[in-house]
A and B are shown apart, each in its own frame.
Chain A
Amino acid sequence: MADKNKNLIKMIENLYYIEKDARDLYNAFLEKINDPKKIKIIKEVRDDKNKHIKIAKELLKIVKSK
């Protein structure tokens, strides 16, 4: 049971880092891409990714709180 929980915590931590990496990638896109239409969409995605990071943090909290 304990292993199961550890794995789940580790998975959520990974998710957190994945979302964080993705946000960094979209930030990099915003620096490099000049097309305003693309920038608008990427900005939206980047903002979403910030939200996803928060969600991942919350998830981690839930899983750890057990």
Chain B
Amino acid sequence: MFKFKSITVKLFFLFLIVGIIPLFLIGFLSIRSTEGGIRKEVLNGLVRYTETKEGQIFAYIEFVKIKGSYFSKSDTIRRYVETFKKGQYINPSEVNDFLKKKAAMDEVLVGMSIVDLNGKVVFSSSKSEIGKDESNHKHFIEIAKEEKDSSIKSGLMIHEHFGLYNAFITSHPIKNEEGDILAVIDVVFSLNEIIDILNGDFQLEKGALTGKSGLEGMNSYVVNQEKIMFIHPIKGDLSMPHYERMKVDTLPVKECLENGKQIIDTYKTYTGKEVLGASMCIPDSRWVIISEISIDKAFLAVKEIYYQLVLMMIVSFLLVVGISLLLTDKVSKYLNKFTTASNQVARGNLDVKIDIDTDDEIGFLAKNLNKMIVSLKRSRVQIEKEISVRTKDLENINKYMVGREIKMIELKEKIKNIEKDGYDLKKKLSWDERLKNAEDMEENIILKLKNSYLRAINESDLDIVKKKKALGLIKELINGSVKHKKYLAKINKK
């Protein structure tokens, strides 16, 4: 029967509480601390990774600018342009083939075109580009207007060139020796290189031993000033116009484009999922490089720890329950033995023995209780012996007293008979003499009361109250007879 008040149940719950609560507390604190540590570590990792990618992208952009510059300063190209500008005959196929060969020599190059100062493409590595009007194009306008001080203009291509919508373009002025701008050369580079930089393939292709050192499950991409994700590590959709691609209006993009701030925090990404992320701004091109990792993936380790901890807690719980049951069962058995023995002793059975043989306090208590029971048994035997002896004495006294009483009654009967039958005898005793005998009679009553009755009542098994009352009455009788004796003595003296 389950009784909450029983010591066994209380002990069981005590063991349970003492064992489980610290376990839960440690588990909770450890998860919290691990979570905090991992969050910090993941954010640091994201920042380091994004900074590295930022540096690599910067370096790549500088690299393509230098490459574009190289073509703008090429003597051959300048000669072609000067000839064309002077209105002298020049075979366009020769120039186009030259540009095509140069473009084909470099895998990062998509193509290049020479634009005259009216904004018309006059030569190109691709025939489809020749004749296109670029007079409204931003780079062309910027370079053509600046004239002598014009410099390289670069950025994300916003018009379709060479069959691509998504490429990086650098525009360079082609100048004569006096520094006058003769034309503009547009050099178009594939974005695949930047994608490779982001996903680490670029480094590996260039001979690096590691390139994909980012966190597992991490996602990096680049967003332009129109909040369009134009570079994503997954290749394959470069032919799609970038403005038709994913619009990313998230916290890091807003902070970078609106406030020029970089973000290292938790926020909701373009898919609506909560992520840990770090962003870097490229102010020149107004690009935002973002590296993110979903909360689930970031805290995968915490989840694993959590599952391990739950498993550990279940095992510990079972262990604590098992140990508690074992201990409480043992204590309960001991307590039952003590209870049974004490019940037996209470009923007067002193032949019981508590059968516990351990070296601990319980064993010590059992030994002492066994000794106590043995001692009680001895005392009881002794008392019984004494009672038996006393009872025998009392019986002897009583026999004697009863004998005396009977004799007295018999004597009285005789006296009565004598008084009735022997008138002569009566006559012989005067009433004065009888008064003297009455004094003796009172004396006898006193003695009898004192010697026999008081003792008999004292040794009787009357309860204390009755005994006390009976003794009081006997004493009253004694006092009365003492008084009578005195009175009679007084009369008899006279």
A38 to chain B: which residues have CB within 8 Å?
A: 435, 491, 494
Name A's interface SS.
helix
* A4 to B474 CA separation, bound complex (whole angstroms): 18
Q: A14-B405, A41-B487, A41-B491 are in contact. Are A32 and B461 (CB under 8 A)?
A: no
Distance to closest chain B CB from A19 (angstroms): 8
Q: Is B431 interfacial (CB-CB < 8 Å)? A: yes
Residue interface bits A32-66, CB-to-B below 8 A is 1, else 0? 11000110011011001101100110110011011
* A10 to B452 CA separation, bound complex (whole angstroms): 12
Q: A41-B490, A63-B462 are in contact. Are A58 and B473 (CB under 8 A)?
A: yes
Task: Report whether B490 and A4 are in contact in the complex, using a CB–CB cutoff of 8 Å.
Answer: no
A42 to chain B: which residues have CB within 8 Å?
A: 491
Number of interface residues of A (CB under 8 A): 39
Task: Report whether A29 and B412 are in contact in the complex, using a CB–CB cutoff of 8 Å.
Answer: no
Distance to closest chain B CB from A54 (angstroms): 10
Task: Report whether A55 and B491 are in contact in the complex, using a CB–CB cutoff of 8 Å.
Answer: no
Task: Report whether A62 and B462 are in contact in the complex, using a CB–CB cutoff of 8 Å.
Answer: yes
Residue interface bits B384-419, CB-to-A below 8 A is 1, else 0? 000000010011001001100100110010000000
* A66 to B314 CA separation, bound complex (whole angstroms): 70
Task: Report whether B402 and A7 are in contact in the complex, using a CB–CB cutoff of 8 Å.
Answer: yes
Most B CB contacts (10 A, CB to CB) among A19, A38, A65 go to A38
Q: Is B477 interfacial (CB-CB < 8 Å)? A: yes
Distance to closest chain A CB from B197 (angstroms): 116
Q: A4-B395, A45-B488 are in contact. Are A65 and B466 (CB under 8 A)?
A: yes
In this complex, the interface size class of chain B, counting residues with CB under 8 Å from chain A, is: 35 or more
Q: Is B476 interfacial (CB-CB < 8 Å)? A: yes
Task: Report whether B470 and A59 are in contact in the complex, using a CB–CB cutoff of 8 Å.
Answer: yes
Q: A8-B456, A65-B466 are in contact. Are A3 and B431 (CB under 8 A)?
A: no
Task: Report whether B453 and A11 are in contact in the complex, using a CB–CB cutoff of 8 Å.
Answer: yes
Residue interface bits A16-30, CB-to-B below 8 A is 1, else 0? 011101100110010
Task: Report whether B445 and A62 are in contact in the complex, using a CB–CB cutoff of 8 Å.
Answer: no
Name B's interface SS.
helix
Task: Report whether A29 and B434 are in contact in the complex, using a CB–CB cutoff of 8 Å.
Answer: yes
Q: A1-B461, A66-B462 are in contact. Are A48 and B484 (CB under 8 A)?
A: yes
Q: A25-B438, A58-B473, A66-B462 are in contact. Are A4 and B398 (CB under 8 A)?
A: yes
Task: Report whether A3 and B398 are in contact in the complex, using a CB–CB cutoff of 8 Å.
Answer: yes
Residue interface bits B467-479, CB-to-A below 8 A is 1, else 0? 0011001101100
Q: A21-B412, A45-B487, A66-B462 are in contact. Are A3 and B395 (CB under 8 A)?
A: yes
A12 to chain B: which residues have CB within 8 Å?
A: 453
* A11 to B189 CA separation, bound complex (whole angstroms): 142
| Docked complex: B441-494 residues within 8 A CB-CB of A | 441-442, 445, 448-449, 452-453, 456-457, 459-463, 466, 469-470, 473-474, 476-477, 480-481, 483-484, 487-488, 490-491, 494
Kindly list 19 other residue pairs between chains A and B, CB separation below 8 angstroms, not including A3-B398, A5-B461: A4-B398, A7-B402, A22-B442, A26-B438, A29-B434, A33-B435, A38-B435, A38-B491, A38-B494, A41-B488, A41-B490, A42-B491, A45-B487, A48-B480, A52-B477, A52-B481, A55-B476, A59-B473, A63-B462
Question: Which residues from chain A sit less than 8 Å from chain B, CB to CB?
Answer: 1, 3-5, 7-8, 10-12, 14-15, 17-19, 21-22, 25-26, 29, 32-33, 37-38, 41-42, 44-45, 48-49, 51-52, 55-56, 58-59, 62-63, 65-66
Closest 7 CB pairs of A and B: A7-B398, A32-B431, A14-B405, A45-B484, A41-B487, A55-B473, A38-B491
Provide 24 A-B residue pairs closer than 8 Å at the C-beta atoms, listed in order of the A residue. Answer: A1-B461, A4-B395, A4-B398, A4-B460, A5-B461, A14-B408, A14-B409, A29-B435, A29-B438, A33-B435, A37-B491, A38-B491, A38-B494, A41-B491, A49-B484, A52-B480, A55-B473, A58-B473, A59-B470, A59-B474, A62-B469, A63-B462, A63-B470, A66-B461
Question: Which residues from chain B sit less than 8 Å from chain A, CB to CB?
Answer: 391, 394-395, 398, 401-402, 405, 408-409, 412, 431, 434-435, 438, 441-442, 445, 448-449, 452-453, 456-457, 459-463, 466, 469-470, 473-474, 476-477, 480-481, 483-484, 487-488, 490-491, 494
